Structure 1
Amino acid sequence: MNWRNALVLVAAAASLGAAALAAPLRAPVMVDDVAVSETRLPRKLSDFGFFSDPAAQVPAANVTPYRLNVPLYSDGADKLRFLYLPAGTQARSMGEDLLDLPVGAALIKTFAFGEGADRRLVETRVLLHRSDGWLALPYRWNDDQTDAALAVAGARIDLATPRGEAISYRIPNKNQCKECHGLNGAVVPIGPKGRNLSADWLGHMVGAGKLDTMDDGMDTMPLWESRDTMPASQMARAYLDVNCAHCHRPGATASNSGLDLRLEQRDAQAIGIMKRPVAAGRGSGNLLFDIVPGKPDQSILLHRMASPEPGVAMPELGKATVDQDGVDVVERWIAEMKPAA
């Protein structure tokens, strides 16, 4: 769901017809700033007031939906993303990098499986920007789909992916959130980078006074839906930036691998080309280099992406299945590279 569709839902909810107009008026749902900024660990998602209709994922009036051009793969889950900014504040553009969000801001991401009447909300993860830094909390939806409860210890849920694969879906515990969101010892957002947000959305935010400016000259990632028609190199680098670089970069949890998969990294060996593994262990599959130009079947990076085996599969967290679309894009990119002399 993109931000325009979400805004349509809000508009539809505001004009339900004569029957709805005859019903008693209710005060609009407003976000509880105390819950975001001060209440240590709110027990329920509803304590925040992020949604006017939680089951339908209709955001409160001061919560803005957004989408990423290239999303993080999570077993095929449909992810609905929202941004909350306290009244009187605005985000600050950092060009292609992450938006600089003020204290009191929140990022909300709901994971859902299924469609229509069969859609099931599974979890909502929130990132709260407090005075002492960012706090990541996971919430598990109840069977009635009316609210979600704090799952500090995480959870396991049996479900089927959109491809029909039966999996034990894992809601991360509070500490596991740090494995993907950790940078130089602190918890940070990883999703809303300027280059991974649409110009339309950024322009809307500027017009609404919620963003200070936008960089018209930045390098924007193409939509993931266009992966079959876009150059493989462009799509693969974008995919690795979104799905891998939050760990494989200096200062992050997998920095000991020596890989730096950020889009801005231009050094061939840093992104794995003819680079010997440092800490792959048995995950290397007895292969010698992270990426061998022109030879996907000899590349450790692709070997690990294509494996569902624990201890081999990459990423280690956040999925239980192979992202075949991602594998296909990276395989095509490596195959098209000019072989090393």
Structure 2
Amino acid sequence: MPVKFFRYLLPAALLLLAGCHRAMPAVAFHADGRPTMLSDWHVVEARDGKLELNAGVVPYSLNSHLFTDYVHKLRTIWMPKGASAKYTANGPLDFPVGTIISKTFYYPRAADGKFSDVARTLDYSGDFAGQGLDLASVHMVETRLLVRRKDGWAPFTYVWNEAQTEAGLARTGDVQALTLVDAQGGREDFNYVVPDEGQCVTCHEADMLSRHIQPIGPKARHMNREYGYGSGRQNQLEHLVAMGYLMGLPALKDVPRDANWRDPSASLDARARAYLDINCAMCHNPNGVASVTGFSLGPDTPEDHRLGLCKSPEAAGPATGGRLFDIVPGKPDESILMYRMASTRPGVMMPEIGRSTVDREGEVLIRAWILSLKGNCDIVH
């Protein structure tokens, strides 16, 4: 065989071997146990300077995002071959056994900053393009998994190492000292708190009686939007249908849709209700852990005392700040809701877990919404 042939064969063989080395093993569904490393699942992994999604792992986003100290989130869904979720109009999609939902929490890195300096920005446009993250430009914090096992959903939290190469199981949570840096160079030190397993259950416990946990974000009204996949933009629910991951989807005109609370073209009421839905309604609903308050913030709650208008608190105690009602129409500074949103004091702030800073933009939105509400609390409903 001519030497010239080997000259071309060897580089090709080396490239093939390199490609095989980089290939990610198939997603591993663990029906029991608590795998100690995120890579044990092969859902998302750090490879060649990128956080890569495995084959069949579908990224998605929400119309409105839950606030968590300005952290950004990459969400994904994976299901076993031949399995699919069933459409539901109100609650989470009905996912089959074997489903793995992941949510990776990360920050864009602050320009010319230390590793602990992270950017305070709501702009996601430079973070990823449908399929992973550039690890050189982001600071990875944690990846949470919700795994649908035979006996229900199981939560797992993995914290990324400083080398940004792997994440380990953190059953008792974690605390990381970080500094938010805004576009003007303003700095805010805070402690990013990774929740322990008990705190995960608190937010995801959909029914106080059954004590079952379930996903919060992947509901039709939150996912009814377009996403920029590698192959182009498509409605997320229709994309899941095309992937074989969803059945029973009605025409999109018949699917509920929450507003994007940051969309100025949407009405103030729609934006505020969407914000309260994604940030508060997981607990503040008739069956949730805050049902005892009688304060419900779901999208279908009528605009009366059930939504907090002129309603005295049931269990807030000193967290009222001396205010009498959950929401006083036209008077945000007299509303308990506004007081608790603007606080970072344990026992006062709401949500009570999941943040150490104040959502300044969300606070502005809810303040404007309360100012727009008509009526007064002279006559208690």
Q: CA deviation at 1:28?
A: 4.3
Structure-1 residue corresponding to 2:262: 225
1:170 equivalent in structure 2? 193
3-state SS in 2 of match to 1:156: strand
Evaluate the alpha carbon distance shift between residue 124 and residue 214 of structure 1 in structure 2; reply closer, same or farther with a 3 A threshold. Answer: same
Q: 1:198 aligns with which of 224, 229, 233?
A: 224
Gaps in structure 2 of 5+ consecutive residues:
1-11, 110-133, 226-234
- Cα distance in 2 between the residues matched to 1:134 and 1:189: 8
- Alpha-carbon separation, structure 2, partners of 1:73 and 1:132: 30
Mapped partners of 2:201, 2:181: distance in 1: 27
After superposition, the Cα gap between the structure-2 partners of 1:283 and 1:156, relative to the gap in structure 1 and judged at 3 Å, is same
How well do the aligned residues superpose, as a CA RMSD in angstroms?
1.9
Q: Give the structure 2 partner of residue 144 of structure 1.
A: 163
Q: For the residues of structure 1 that align with 2:310 and 2:276, how far apart are their CA atoms? A: 17
Candidates 210, 213, 219, aligned match of 1:187 = 213
Give the distance between the partners of 1:20 and 1:278, measured in 2 at CA.
69
Q: For 1:1-341, what aligned pairs fall within 5 Å after superposition? A: 24-26=18-20, 27-33=23-29, 35=30, 37-38=31-32, 40-51=33-44, 53=46, 56-115=50-109, 117-163=136-182, 164-184=187-207, 185-199=211-225, 200-215=235-250, 216=252, 217-226=254-263, 228-266=264-302, 268-340=304-376
Runs (5+) with no aligned partner, structure 1:
1-17
1:212–1:304 CA distance, 2 compared to 1 (3 A): same
In the aligned structure 2, how far is the partner of 1:71 from the partner of 1:57? 21
Displacement, 1:23? 5.3
Deviation at 1:25, TM superposition (A): 2.9
Q: Distance in 2 between matches of 1:262 and 1:134?
A: 22
Structure 1, 48-57 or 117-126: larger mean CA deviation: 48-57
4+ residue segments displaced more than 6 Å:
none
Structure 1 CA distance for aligned equivalents of residues 206 and 248 of structure 2: 26
Residue identity over aligned pairs, in percent, reads: 39
CA contact (8 A) 2:309 2:328 kept: yes
Determine the C-alpha separation between the residues in 1 that align with 2:53 and 2:18. 21
TM-score after normalising by structure 1: 0.89
Aligned length: 320
State the 1:267 CA deviation: 5.1
Query: Which has the higher Rg, Structure 1 or Structure 2?
Result: 2
CA distance in 1, matches of 2:200, 2:71: 18
TM-score by length of structure 2 reads 0.80
